[in-house]
């Protein structure tokens, strides 16, 4: 027995006294802190609970803490992690670290590693490298060529892109997510300033460029590195999962774009270079003896640094500026007065753009911008690390390698720095009594940094923002959408959490077009009611992404997706928790479907990720790509089109219905017992598909409802496949490593499937060997065995091919048809008018219709199509882009973003199917002449779209019609009226089956 337990046994009263003292002290500490903003330093966990609890509004909470703690506070992380840091907003400390003792606070290796996306550029460099790069940057920013190019670029982009976009939105009374507009616009402007090339980010369709998406994901990954222990994100980087995988993929996209621009520029002659930043650096290299700047990696790091520095500052500042204008209309009025009479250029549409030199006299405009930056700095915090031990001006001792975080956001909200009105938006604080601009020390106003690292682009950024603001305010009046809440986002950049929804109004529009204004007034009132839809759209939270919404709606996932896609214009990005494979774009937009499945088919293969997720299907046609898929599809098409096979299918179906399904239902009707019709149809289609594929009737459909291991294994495998779509990848890998949970379930199912198929293949080979001259067998396995030479395989490879091919055919034939029939009969039970019309159509034909007669059952075909529209057997399709792409809806897709097409939702979109989209109405498929109306497959995708369209479509319709023709004239099926709940599976089965009572027609 150890000394610890000996002590407890010998002195229990002392041990209990220590425990009581510990908890009493802890309780008293909590009580003391209840009225304080300062975080509790918990045993073991430090202040980590405080950081996690306040992550969504961390900037305001930090300001509260620093306000109470005297501008400086030490944050303690868990004792077992290196997460302690000093946080401050003390101007004296800022001046000490950024100016007086500048050399003791370099960026450091840890900062460079955390921001490795920036390479060795100016923003992360130290010592000689930083001095050299800053000298170059100073030369370029001071050059008249560059300044003239930059100013003309912003004026041209404002007049030709930004103002026309807002003009379009104003004329249609559309909402505008202004931060998104500014982000795309500033990215476009910054890209043009750096490379003299256009990304064309901003248009009426508001596409999100792949390059812009990559920079956004890089920023999110860097923020993640700030809030978790270094050991954790470094492990994620080593495993290439979660946000680190996103960052890696983002780097690939960013590098591809930048290196392409560098290559284009190097191909030009030196005298053909323009005034953009890349050209200026390359011109400088002509006069330098050093070769470093000629290195493409150096040019890449320089360009990335300028892009990240430029795009966010302007976009974020302008977003918060216009938010302030909406809240303080008197400030906007004074700015309008400030720019009144200043010279501007006129662009098409009678839009006016101000020139940068004419705005020098707009003092109040610049004051309003500075006041916005004081309260909402684009970069809300700066970070430093001490090289050696130091003592700060307030007496705080700083040890070597101590991280110091400077909260610029809190600094603007401290009464001791800015006075009692520090929380108020007052541009007047920046204007002297004589009307001149009042300058504040940079260590007090840190938005453009301070000391040797002061931002070289300060004047350029302010000039750009003045041009944009003056031009927008002169041409438009913007209003904040009622009820839209604007809050800072937890990020390395001070974005808003939910964007900023505004309505831009064209000044003078009411006067010029009163009749249009009057006619749209009613529309706008209705629109204001309709636009309050954000509550339905899932929130992508930090750390957990949209997981809370997914979990909350797990029991109704298909209807939930439908609801938020209606509110999100049929497309929405759902982010998974950290550690998941990446973002998922969920869409029900037919234009996106046509683009991915047809127009740009080659860019959306099944891919390795899909094949890994559906590994149970092996190399079959569902997983295959390229030549393998082309060959398998050609072969399957030839076999399914064979007249002998189609005749055998018709005969087998007729026998199974007459000898199996009808007697079973007749017995159920006679007993008066309830039966699970879904189970009946799954057994029926399993037997039929096995007969078509293997030439064997497994006897799954029998009065005693036997358990068939093959069918049960298919059910288990499908459940696991759905689980793989929603579970985080690290959790799946852990299950795989430990061989537990769903991994174990799939392994057992796969073992049964392999054994069952191997047995059926062996049986077929034995029959073939016993009667080599037999020609009666028309099943698909026999056909594949007969063309082994054409397939070009033998031995184990051919056996694997047969296994994968037959399993794919079994999945395609059994599940989709049984699901479609189950939902169809539930709909039929609740729509007696439709049932009566189908019954009349069937009674007008022979009792057992032939294939030709089945084709003439037009209303039945329409009813089946309508059922498939509302309840597609495969409720979603999964796609991934091989190369970055932009969909017709404007959404960007790339290596880190998968696409899920919700076929279930598509059938319920009013924009696709009209106002009665949720009604079961077969008549929508009929022309006035009574003929069947065909819809585009991108709109009705139950049988897939484009080159991968289902080869068995006609066969499936014939089979379903034959089942209906055998059942409806003989029996009336009575099901509950309440809609059954869909099962969480890759196939749209009913979760609890379909319990029905069966009645003979002659008894009605």
- Predicted confidence at residue 11, as pLDDT, reads 47
Own/partner contacts of 990-994, CB < 8 Å, gap of 24 or more, are 990/678, 990/822, 990/823, 990/826, 993/676, 993/677, 993/678, 993/679, 994/676, 994/677, 994/678, 994/822, 994/825, 994/826
Q: What average pLDDT does range 698-711 have in this prediction?
A: 86
Residues 6 or more apart whose CB falls under 8 angstroms from that of 178 comprise: 319, 322, 478, 499, 500, 501, 502
Q: What average pLDDT does range 28-54 have in this prediction?
A: 66
pLDDT of 689 higher than 50:
yes
Range of lowest pLDDT (91-95, 392-396, 429-433, 537-541): 537-541
Q: State pLDDT tens for residues 62-85.
A: 999 999 889 998 888 776 566 688
- Predicted confidence at residue 271, as pLDDT, reads 54
**Nearest Cα to 961, choosing from 830, 818, 857?**
857
Q: State pLDDT tens for residues 628-647.
A: 888 888 888 888 888 888 88
Crossing angle, helix 643-656 and helix 626-641, to 10 degrees? 70
Q: What is the band of 773 on the pLDDT scale with cuts at 50, 70, 90?
A: low
pLDDT of 463 higher than 80:
yes
Q: Which of 204-213, 280-289, 400-409, 762-771 has the highest mean pLDDT?
A: 400-409
pLDDT of 17 higher than 80:
no
Residues constituting the chain: 1004
Q: Note whether 350 and 416 are same-domain residues.
A: yes
Q: What average pLDDT does range 374-394 have in this prediction?
A: 90
- Predicted confidence at residue 521, as pLDDT, reads 39
Q: CA 325, CA 320: separation in Å to the nearest integer?
A: 9
Q: Note whether 115 and 222 are same-domain residues.
A: yes
- Predicted confidence at residue 523, as pLDDT, reads 36
**Nearest Cα to 754, choosing from 691, 804, 828?**
804
- Predicted confidence at residue 186, as pLDDT, reads 86
Q: Could you give the percent of the chain with pLDDT greater than 90?
A: 25
Q: CA 843, CA 660: separation in Å to the nearest integer?
A: 22
Bigger pLDDT: 412 vs 7 = 412
Q: Note whether 23 and 132 are same-domain residues.
A: no
Range of the domain at 152: 108-532
Domain limit, last residue, from 515, 532, 549: 532
HSE-CB for 267 with a 13 A CA cutoff: 6
Residue 120 lies in a domain: yes
pLDDT of 867 higher than 60:
yes
Q: What is the band of 809 on the pLDDT scale with cuts at 50, 70, 90?
A: confident
pTM, whole model, 2 decimals? 0.53
Residue 61 lies in a domain: no
pLDDT of 5 higher than 70:
no
Q: Are 927 and 918 in contact (CB under 8 A)?
A: no
Q: Which helix (H) or strand (E) holds 398?
A: strand 397-398
pLDDT of 172 higher than 80:
no
Q: What average pLDDT does range 285-306 have in this prediction?
A: 69
Domain limit, last residue, from 513, 532, 551: 532
Q: What is the band of 580 on the pLDDT scale with cuts at 50, 70, 90?
A: low
pLDDT of 291 higher than 70:
no
Q: Note whether 506 and 610 are same-domain residues.
A: no
Q: Note whether 648 and 710 are same-domain residues.
A: yes
pLDDT of 27 higher than 60:
no
- Predicted confidence at residue 504, as pLDDT, reads 53
Range of lowest pLDDT (199-213, 495-509, 679-693, 981-995): 495-509
- Predicted confidence at residue 22, as pLDDT, reads 54
pLDDT of 502 higher than 80:
no
Residue 611 lies in a domain: yes
Domain limit, last residue, from 517, 532, 547: 532
Q: Note whether 516 and 596 are same-domain residues.
A: no
Q: Is 950 annotated as a binding residue?
A: yes
Q: What is the average pLDDT value for the chain, to the nearest integer? A: 82
Residue 907 lies in a domain: yes
Residue 489 lies in a domain: yes
Q: Note whether 477 and 360 are same-domain residues.
A: yes
Q: Note whether 526 and 596 are same-domain residues.
A: no
Bigger pLDDT: 485 vs 380 = 380
Q: What is the band of 676 on the pLDDT scale with cuts at 50, 70, 90?
A: very high
Q: What average pLDDT does range 713-717 have in this prediction?
A: 86
Q: Are 527 and 533 in contact (CB under 8 A)?
A: no
Q: Note whether 646 and 790 are same-domain residues.
A: yes
Residue 40 lies in a domain: no
- Predicted confidence at residue 768, as pLDDT, reads 76
We report the CATH number of the domain holding residue 278 as: 1.10.630.10
Determine phi and psi for 532, rounding to 5 degrees: -80, 75
Range of lowest pLDDT (84-98, 194-208, 293-307, 664-678): 194-208
Residue 969 lies in a domain: yes
Q: State pLDDT tens for residues 99-116.
A: 999 889 887 777 888 888
- How many domains does the chain fold into? 3
Q: Note whether 122 and 199 are same-domain residues.
A: yes
Own/partner contacts of 760-769, CB < 8 Å, gap of 24 or more, are 760/690, 760/694, 760/696, 760/806, 761/799, 761/802, 761/803, 761/806, 763/694, 763/696, 764/694, 764/695, 764/696
């Amino acid at each position: 027995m150890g000394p610890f337990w000996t002590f407890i046994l010998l002195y229990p009263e002392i041990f209990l006294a220590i425990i009581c003292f510990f908890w009493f002290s802890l309780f008293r500490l909590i009580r003391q802190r209840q009225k304080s903003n300062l975080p509790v330093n918990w045993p073991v966990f430090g202040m980590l609970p405080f950081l996690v609890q306040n992550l969504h509004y961390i900037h305001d909470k930090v300001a509260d803490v620093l306000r109470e703690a005297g501008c400086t506070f030490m944050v303690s992380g868990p004792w077992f992690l290196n997460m302690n840091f000093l946080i401050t907003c003390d101007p004296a400390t800022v001046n000490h670290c950024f100016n007086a003792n500048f050399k003791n606070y370099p960026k450091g290796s840890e900062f460079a590693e955390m921001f490795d996306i920036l390479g060795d550029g100016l923003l992360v460099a130290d010592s000689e490298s930083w001095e050299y790069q800053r000298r170059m940057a100073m030369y370029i920013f001071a050059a008249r060529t560059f300044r003239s190019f930059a100013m003309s670029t912003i004026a041209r982009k404002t007049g030709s892109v930004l103002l026309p976009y807002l003009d379009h939105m104003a004329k249609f009374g559309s909402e505008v997510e202004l931060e998104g507009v500014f982000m795309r616009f500033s990215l476009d402007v910054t890209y043009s300033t750096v490379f003299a090339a256009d990304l064309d980010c901003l248009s009426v369709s508001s596409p999100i460029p792949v390059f812009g998406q990559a920079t956004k994901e890089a920023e999110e990954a860097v923020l993640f590195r700030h809030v978790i222990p270094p050991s954790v994100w470094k492990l994620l980087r080593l495993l290439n999962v979660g946000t680190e995988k996103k960052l890696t993929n983002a780097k690939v996209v960013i590098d591809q774009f930048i290196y392409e621009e560098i290559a284009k520029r190097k191909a030009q002659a030196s005298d053909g270079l323009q005034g953009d930043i890349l050209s200026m650096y390359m011109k400088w290299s002509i006069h330098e003896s050093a070769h470093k700047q000629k290195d493409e990696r150096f040019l890449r790091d320089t360009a990335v640094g300028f892009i990240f520095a430029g795009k966010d500052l302007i976009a974020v500042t302008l977003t918060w500026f216009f938010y302030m204008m909406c809240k303080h209309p008197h400030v906007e009025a004074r700015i309008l007065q400030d720019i009144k009479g200043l010279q501007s250029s006129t662009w098409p549409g009678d839009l006016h753009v101000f020139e940068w030199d004419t705005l020098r006299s707009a003092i109040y405009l610049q004051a309003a911008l500075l006041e916005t930056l004081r309260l909402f700095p684009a970069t809300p915090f700066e970070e430093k690390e001490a090289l050696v031990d130091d003592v700060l001006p307030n007496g705080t001792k700083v040890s070597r390698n101590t991280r110091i975080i400077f909260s610029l956001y809190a600094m603007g909200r401290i009464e001791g720095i800015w006075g009692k009105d520090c929380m108020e938006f007052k541009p007047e604080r920046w204007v002297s009594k004589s009307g001149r601009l009042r300058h504040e020390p940079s260590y007090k106003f840190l938005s453009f940094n301070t000391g040797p690292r002061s931002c070289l682009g300060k004047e350029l950024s302010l000039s750009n923002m003045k041009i944009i603001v003056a031009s927008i305010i002169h041409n438009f009046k913007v209003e904040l959408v009622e009820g839209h809440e604007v809050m800072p986002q937890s990020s390395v950049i001070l974005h808003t959490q939910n964007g900023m929804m505004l309505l831009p109004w064209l000044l003078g529009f009411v006067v010029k077009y009163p009749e249009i204004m009057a006619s749209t007034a009613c529309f706008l009132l209705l629109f204001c009611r309709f636009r309050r839809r954000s509550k339905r759209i899932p929130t992508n939270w930090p750390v957990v992404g949209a997981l809370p919404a997914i979990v909350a709606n797990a029991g109704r996932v298909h209807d939930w997706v439908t609801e938020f896609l209606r509110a999100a214009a049929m497309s929405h990005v759902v982010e998974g928790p950290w550690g998941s494979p990446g973002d998922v774009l969920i869409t029900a937009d037919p234009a996106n479907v046509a683009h991915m499945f047809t127009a740009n088919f080659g860019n959306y293969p099944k891919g390795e990720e899909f094949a890994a997720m559906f590994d149970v299907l092996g190399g079959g046609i569902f997983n295959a790509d390229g030549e393998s898929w082309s060959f398998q599809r050609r072969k399957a098409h030839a076999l399914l089109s064979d007249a002998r096979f189609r005749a055998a299918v018709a005969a087998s179906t007729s026998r199974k219905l007459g000898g199996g399904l009808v007697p079973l239902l007749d017995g159920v009707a006679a007993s008066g017992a309830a039966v699970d019709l879904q189970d009946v149809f799954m057994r029926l289609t399993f037997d039929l598909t096995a007969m078509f594929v293997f030439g064997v009737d497994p006897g799954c459909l029998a009065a005693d409802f036997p358990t068939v291991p093959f069918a049960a294994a298919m059910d288990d495998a499908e459940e696991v496949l759905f689980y793989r779509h929603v579970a985080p990848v690290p959790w799946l890998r852990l299950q795989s490593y430990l061989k537990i949970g769903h991994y174990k379930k799939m392994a057992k199912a796969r073992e049964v499937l392999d054994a069952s198929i191997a047995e059926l293949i062996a049986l077929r080979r034995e029959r073939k060997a016993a009667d080599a001259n037999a020609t009666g067998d028309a099943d698909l396995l026999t056909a594949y065995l007969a063309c082994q030479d054409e397939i070009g395989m033998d031995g184990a490879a051919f056996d694997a091919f047969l296994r994968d091919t037959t399993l794919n055919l079994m999945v395609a034939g059994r599940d989709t048809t049984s699901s479609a029939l189950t939902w169809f009969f539930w709909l039929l039970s609740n729509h007696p008018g439709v049932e009566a019309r189908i019954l009349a159509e069937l009674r007008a034909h022979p009792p057992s219709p032939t294939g030709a007669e089945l084709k003439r059952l037009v209303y039945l075909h329409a009813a089946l199509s309508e059922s498939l529209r509302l309840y597609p057997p495969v409720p979603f399709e999964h796609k991934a882009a091989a190369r970055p792409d932009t969909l017709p809806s404007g959404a960007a897709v790339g290596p880190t973003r998968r696409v899920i097409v919700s076929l279930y939702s598509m059938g319920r979109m009013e924009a696709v199917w009209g106002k009665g989209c949720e009604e079961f109405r077969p008549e929508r498929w009929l022309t006035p002449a009574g003929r069947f109306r065909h819809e585009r497959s991108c709109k009705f995708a139950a049988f897939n779209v484009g080159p991968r369209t289902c080869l068995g479509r006609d066969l499936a319709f014939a089979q379903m019609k034959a089942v209906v023709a055998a059942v409806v004239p003989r029996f009336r099926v009575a099901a509950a009226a309440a809609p059954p709940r869909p099962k969480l599976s890759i196939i749209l089965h009913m979760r609890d089956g379909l319990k029905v009572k069966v009645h003979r027609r002659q008894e009605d």
